[in-house]
Amino acid sequence: MRILITNDDGVYAPGLAALYKAMQKEHQVVIAAPQTEQSAVGHAITLSDPIRVRPLGPPEGYAGWAVSGTPADCVKLALSQLLDYTPDIVISGINKGSNTGFNLLYSGTVSAASEAALQGVPSIAISLDSHDPKADFSFAGRVACLIAAKLAQWNLPPTVPLNVNVPALPESEIRGFRFTSQSQTCFKERFIPRTDPRGNTYYWQAGETANDISTDRTDQSTVQAGYVSLTPVRLDLTHHKLLDSLRKFELSL
């Protein structure tokens, strides 16, 4: 297969290197990834600033481009401008840290996969549940390779990205694979006020993702239980159930 790889941790991230290494054994792989870290940029796109592109080469060891934009910019630019073919699949990752629950809304990793889906290209977002700088991405790389081969077999429409989260466990302790729903897990932010050398207050946005105590098969609880979680993502944000009940109301100014 011809595979486009992107991420939100930037072109020098170890998770990207592991994904490239795992995929290039069997596939033709090209990278279009952000020049700098773009974590938590969500589905942002760059309209007010110019976007610059730097070809990757021997220093990095990759075929492809570093892009001065967001993950969604990378996918748009690669599909419409940089590549002269449509890849068979777009894979975004391997993200440092899981992308579960409502954090999907903030995730540049997931948004890159969503952007591919909007353009009709099958896509996977893959994340490792670890922020350890020495985290081992090699098992997650093999998982990406396995799932890329399965997408067609599962009849997953190209408009539906698959969001994959891998526990940070030795392979022998991984309990298997589970299809899951998005949990209610959420980033709980804290703002830390500080004072700069000129006496002005500024804030750091800190925080962490709360654990999920649900017993349902959700992304977060499944990863916590030692399984690889696979969630099909829906990009129609309509709350159809509520829409039906709202339509009984009349409204006029």
Please give the residues from 152 up to 181 whose contact with a copy of itself meets the rule CB under 8 A: 153-157, 160, 171, 174, 176-177, 179-181
CB of 25 to a copy of itself, least distance (A): 15
Q: Which two tokens stand for residue 151?
A: 């997408």
114 binds a copy of itself (CB under 8 A): yes
Q: Which of residues 3-32 bind a copy of itself (CB under 8 A)?
A: none
CB of 99 to a copy of itself, least distance (A): 11
CB of 229 to a copy of itself, least distance (A): 11
CB of 118 to a copy of itself, least distance (A): 6
CB of 92 to a copy of itself, least distance (A): 15
CB of 241 to a copy of itself, least distance (A): 8
User: Could you say which of 194, 197, 198, 215 contacts a copy of itself (CB under 8 A)?
Assistant: 194
Are the C-beta atoms of residues 139 and 228 closer than 8 Å to each other? no
Are the C-beta atoms of residues 166 and 224 closer than 8 Å to each other? no
Q: How many CB atoms lie within 10 A of CB 249?
A: 6
Give the DSSP letter string of 74-121. Answer: HHHHIIIII-SS--SEEEEEEEES---GGGGGT-HHHHHHHHHHHTT-
138 binds a copy of itself (CB under 8 A): no
| Binding window for a copy of itself (CB under 8 A); candidates: 19-27, 89-97, 128-136, 197-205 | 197-205
SS3 for 221? Answer: helix
What Å distances lie between residue 91 and 72, 122, 190, CA to CA?
12, 9, 32
Burial of 168: CB neighbours in 10 Å, binned 0-12, 13-18, 19+: middle
- Biggest CA pair distance of the chain: 64
182 binds a copy of itself (CB under 8 A): yes
User: Could you say which of 1, 51, 169, 210 contacts a copy of itself (CB under 8 A)?
Assistant: 51
User: Could you say which of 1, 44, 56, 83 contacts a copy of itself (CB under 8 A)?
Assistant: 44
Rounded to 5°, the CA angle 122-128-134 comes to: 135
Q: Label the pairing between strands 28-34 and 2-6.
A: parallel
- Phi, psi (rounded to 5 degrees) for 23: -80, -30
User: Could you say which of 15, 65, 74, 76 contacts a copy of itself (CB under 8 A)?
Assistant: 76
Complex with a copy of itself: residue 61 or 251, whichever CB lies closer: 251
Q: Label the pairing between strands 201-209 and 187-195.
A: antiparallel
Give the total of residues touching a copy of itself (CB under 8 A).
80
Complex with a copy of itself: residue 61 or 202, whichever CB lies closer: 202
